[in-house]
Chains A and B, each alone.
Chain A
Amino acid sequence: MNAITKTDKATDAGVSRRFFLVGSAAGTLVLGYAATSKLSEALAAGPGAFAPSAWVAINKDGKVEVTVGKADMGQHIASTMAQIVAEELESSWKDMTIAFASNDPKYNDPVLGAQITGGSWSTGMNFDAMSRAGAAGRITLIKAAAEMMGVPEAECQARESRVRHTKSNKAVTYAQIVASGKAAKVWTADELKAIKLKAPAQYRLIGQSVPQLDIPSKTNGTARYGIDTFLPGMLYGKLALPPVRYGAKVTGLDDAEAKKVPGFVQAVVLDDKTGTTSGWVVAVAKTYEGARKAADALKITYDKGPHAAVTDAAIVAEAKRLQAEGTAGFLFVKNGDSAGAIGTAAKVMEAEYLTSLNIHAPMEPMNATAREENGTWHIYTGNQFATRTTGIAAAVLGVEQAKIVMHQHYLGGGFGRRLESDMVIPALLAAKAVGKPVKVIYSREDDMRMDFTRPLTYQKVKVGLDGNGKPVALEHDVIGAWPTARWGIPEFLTPAVDKKGPHDSFTVNGADAWYTIPNHTVRNYKNEVAQNATPSGQLRSVAPAWTFWALESVMDEIAAATGQDPVEMRLALLDGSGANAGGDKPQTSGGAKRLANALRTAVGRSGYGAIKLGPNEGMGVAAVSSQERSSPTWTACVAHVAVDPGSGAVTVKRLTIAMDVGTAINPDGVKAQIEGSALWGASIALHEKATMKNGAIEQTNFDGYTPMRMADAPEIDISIISNGEAPVGCGEPAVTVVAPAIANAIFKAVGARVRSLPITAEAVKAAMKA
């Protein structure tokens, strides 16, 4: 992902931060990466305008504030970053506080060179930078403390926010050191790199389930989300939307009725130069209830545009056409000669897998507040991709990116929805039109109808087996909309293996799995009908949630067709030979064998094959390496289901999950993420389905679109494998492993093979008869 550093000039700051500065400003000790070595220069402007990225600040009272350029959407990332810093800084957990960065490039991710939160990247990619920041701070504090106490530095030790001279037992607190103003040092990049970080055995905080710093504020109503913004003189905006998801134009607007609504100010037709939205109008009023009434009262006529007839069926038909034609795909994997090997295989199997459109529907509907002051535009919202949202905002307004300031808030759920930037557009354009701050709150209906959905996908898989039922060839075609391509960031795309051109590998990740299959071809197809009609987005875990749906289902189909045990068959293929040995990066160290271990763990914990199940019950397995091949989180699941043979209704009794996270920084936090993502996986496996008709998303609220509720939540048994390897993301992989495990369990229970998500009772019933 280093490539993204090239996408935006503003991110150059990320690469040129060659120094790490520790110095005092107005009684606060500031620690941060900087492009300049001149502490005085950086400090001259005072703490408010401190030039280098002020990631860590220690106040006079000893409180340590960690400023995070990440979106906190429930994964407690700010708290995790604070934990990494505190480990090396040797500060007490009770002194730690968190804050969110603005969109200033100085807060960009040190690896990605941008502010983006997604792909379970945060922890792994920031671990080193945050650790070194903490360590450099500690060393500088010890040096100052030694000076203050008149003792040799080497005889001092830092612990719990104080430095102690071990021989004399004299000590000074971090607060006292900060007050002395003595701690100051410029670290060069080389010096920083030379710091010896702690070995895992020395960790005191990492690996501990310290309480998450953001949680208390989320139990008493004080946590501030974007929707909680209030500005002096602020007006409200409510969307009035066209009858299609994308491509409509406003041809006429009559606001006569809206004018009768008390407090109505103006209806603004959005002229969105970025094409992110189409045919949107914002009704602006003094109150939100007024804006809602006014939006309803507007009479708008539309040209519905070119996608007004698109349906799910049309999207699937186009996908099948593309696959059958076979020429438009981009090669993502090409190992050996799969066509040749299929031609000579003892047995050939073929299957098609589908996944439906899905809606993110975070509990906090999309919203943003915008305000202009002296030519600078301030945006108040919660967003996962501040860098791109800044670019979109600037383009929409026709101003420079430097004129956009984004004020980050807690996200009332992200799941990839807030990687998008649409929500800032109506706020900005309405504020511009009326010359006052405007808060735009999408209704739930607006939020669902204009979701950047998880794409509808169609996959065709063909396998060639040898005489022993061992897969020797695998051909996997993946066809869907390409969300990342829609973003128009060339560096986010991947060159095809045969140099045919760039493609969106975020729609096919996972298909390059870690099974040893000598002849393997994966082709990635963009479905233009879907691309245009259903602008698609990244939904929690993205491609691995459909690629593993196909792959882990077909693995079971092979096992069933050849009389093999699905666990034993997988273990044999996860032999870690050749490229599957891993180890080209710390994250892949150990390779496929770590997935085999995770699978054994889940299988063992679940009682698979050992405990007696009730009638029409079954256990199914799946094993995944989500998210990307370069950053796998080895995850296995055993699903235990019961099927009602009369109706086909499926009850998930228990999910047993084993995940190798390398290093669990906060085991309880990891567990919470796995709990949530496993249930998300079960929810999209069984409960969530969106459909398109006449170019529009048909589901508009939680009656039509029905995420899992408490009554449907199965028991979950979680094993976290923490073996000292590099930390990897834990918020997404479980999403991808649950659906195939459930489908495989249904097959075991009643012999019904369902190949389409979500799995409905009707589909199970039909497959039972077949």
Chain B
Amino acid sequence: MINLTINGKEQKVDVAGDTPLLWVIREHLQMTGTKFGCGAGLCGSCTVHINGEAVRSCQTAVSEAVGKKVTTIEGLDSKGQHPLQRAFVAEQVPQCGYCQSGQIMQAAALLAKNNDPSKAEIVEHMNGNLCRCMTYARIQRAILRAAADMRGV
């Protein structure tokens, strides 16, 4: 048995310690907001937070998450109203939507540390997250909007 804390809730799962956290979250716990895109750390669809840091859950063994705080898109905000979530709706960012949980989780880690990022900082931080629908321009705009919102401007 492995004990995890996900979105503030204790979870017990019966899996091998080397199982990627992604599959534990998605398939065992059926929290499907976190997505599988490449399984190789190349696309960012599976991004979650561990102790506030954005990590690729496909590259993280479940054993590494023990004793740490895991946050998924479902737990980013209890009402789904994180400034980024509101901004992604306001800018009408998602197309197919599949990459968007990962985009939002990746961006949330940036804004938690830096609520006034430059465009270059955004690009650097987000470049590992692929969007096959190529919503990049809107993602940038939404991050800037959310940052402004968080700064209260």
Contact = CB atoms under 8 A, between A and B. Distances in A.
Contacts of B45: 363
Contacts of B27: 236, 287-288
Interface string A711-750: 1010110000000000000000000000000000000000
B103 to A, nearest CB: 10
Contacts of B124: 711
A679 B133 CA distance: 9
A550 interface: no
B19 interface: yes
Given A228-B32, A444-B40, A713-B134, A413 B123 contact: no
A444 B37 contact: yes
A703 B128 CA distance: 11
B38 A441 contact: no
A329 interface: no
A74 B97 contact: yes
Given A224-B32, A363-B130, A711-B123, A676 B20 contact: no
Interface in B16-67: 16, 19-20, 23, 27-28, 30-40, 42-43, 45
Contact of B42 (A441, A679, A701): A701
B111 to A, nearest CB: 15
Interface size on A, as a range, is 35 or more
Contact of B94 (A219, A262, A415, A715): A219
B96 A414 contact: yes
Contacts of B34: 221
A230 B30 CA distance: 8
A707 interface: yes
A419 to B, nearest CB: 15
Given A215-B94, A289-B19, A365 B37 contact: yes
Contacts of A686: none
B68 interface: no
A323 interface: no
Nearest to A412: B98
A592 B40 CA distance: 48
A669 B36 CA distance: 26
A363 B129 CA distance: 11
A675 interface: yes
A713 B136 contact: yes
Contacts, number: 169
B123 to A, nearest CB: 5
A357 interface: no
A216 interface: yes
B92 A212 contact: yes
Contact of B38 (A215, A218, A702): A702
A500 interface: no
Contact of A711 (B43, B94, B96, B127): B127
A362 B96 CA distance: 9
A211 interface: yes
Interface in A653-669: 668-669
B131 interface: yes
Contact of A225 (B94, B98, B131, B139): B98
Contacts of A108: none
Nearest to B34: A221
A73 interface: yes
Interface string B134-146: 1111111000000
Given A219-B88, A364-B35, A702-B43, A289 B140 contact: no
B70 to A, nearest CB: 14
Nearest to A680: B134
A668 B89 CA distance: 13
A683 interface: yes
Contacts of B104: 219
Nearest to B126: A710
A215 B88 CA distance: 9
Nearest to A76: B95
B15 A413 contact: no
Given A287-B28, A444-B38, A444-B39, A679 B89 contact: no
Interface of A: 73-76, 209, 211-212, 214-225, 227-228, 230, 236, 262, 287-289, 361-365, 410-415, 441, 443-444, 668-669, 672-673, 675-676, 679-680, 683, 701-703, 707-711, 713, 715-716
Nearest 8 Cβ contacts at the A-B interface: A221-B33, A218-B97, A412-B98, A74-B95, A74-B96, A220-B80, A679-B134, A218-B94
24 contacts: A215-B93, A218-B94, A218-B97, A219-B89, A219-B94, A225-B98, A287-B15, A289-B15, A289-B20, A289-B23, A363-B35, A363-B132, A364-B96, A365-B36, A415-B132, A444-B39, A672-B138, A675-B137, A676-B135, A679-B134, A680-B134, A710-B127, A711-B124, A711-B127
Given A225-B35, A707-B130, 9 more contacts: A75-B95, A212-B92, A219-B100, A221-B73, A363-B45, A413-B133, A709-B136, A710-B122, A711-B124
